[in-house]
Structure 1
Amino acid sequence: MSRDPGLQPERTRLAWRRTLLAVTAVLLLEVRLVFAGDAFDAVLAGLAVVAWLGVLVVDWRRATGAGPRGVERWSVPLTALAAAGLALLGVLHVVRGLR
């Protein structure tokens, strides 16, 4: 039985689209907290927007299959860094809420 090489790239593109969707959902939750918070929450939301823009620019090309091939080497480290940063922002919100 021969392997169809067309399925794996499609699954990979769909996985990158789900990643973008998840990061976008976290960003929207972060921005929602700005309306109930103070200036510190606005700064955290600004950092989340910067992380989201970085992930969007790099991962969108990988998710759609468009753009130069050199972008692919940055997508995994940048997405991991953005996810860790967004997790840290969530921890900061929890710690501030406990005070």
Structure 2
Amino acid sequence: MTAEGRDPGLQPERTRLAWRRTTLSCTVVALLAVKQALHSGASPAGIVAVALSALAWLGFLLVAHRRVLGMGTARPQPLSALGALTAGACTVALAVFAAAMLF
């Protein structure tokens, strides 16, 4: 079968659902960061960590939204290198800011 005749089947739908699940996970992490900051007292470092977590979450949300929209076409384009780098950087940033809030 040639690349022109490729039938993607349900693969784009599974990828779209995976992006949505990952976005939901990032949302939960961001909300837990806010909860942790509120319960531990609003220290300046905690506020900065929550603000940076919110920015990382928004960055990931933007990449995920663009990817989900891109998966709606008959022949979705692969994720760009910049999109993959941004998603990875936002994920690592969320983990670093969460660790910073704990200490």
Fold conserved (TM > 0.5)?
yes
Residue 76 of structure 1: how far off its partner (Å) = 1.9
Letter in 2 for 1:7: L
Structure having the larger proportion of residues in helix? 1
Corresponding position: 1:51 with 2:56: yes
From the superposition, tell whether residues 22 and 7 of structure 1 become closer, same or farther in structure 2 (CA, over 3 Å). same
Partner residue of 2:46 out of 19, 41, 48? 41
Using CA pairs under 8 Å that are at least 6 residues apart, name the structure with larger relative contact order, 1 or 2: 2
Highest CA radius of gyration, 1 or 2? 2
Corresponding position: 1:28 with 2:36: no
Q: Could you tell me which residue of structure 1 aligns to residue 100 of structure 2?
A: 92
Deviation per CA, 1:48-71: give whole Å up to 9, x if none.
Answer: 01001111112112124379x889
Q: Could you tell me which residue of structure 2 aligns to residue 83 of structure 1?
A: 91
Q: TM-score scaled to structure 2, two decimals?
A: 0.75
Instruction: Report sequence identity in percent.
Output: 41
Corresponding position: 1:72 with 2:79: yes
Structure 2 CA distance, aligned partners of 1:52 and 1:18? 14
RMSD: 2.5
Q: Which blocks of at least 5 consecutive residues in structure 2 are unaligned?
A: 1-5
Residues 13 and 65, structure 1, Cα contact 8 Å, conserved in 2: no
Corresponding position: 1:13 with 2:23: no
Deviation per CA, 1:2-25: give whole Å up to 9, x if none.
Answer: x85230000000111111001100
* Count of residues in correspondence between the two structures: 92
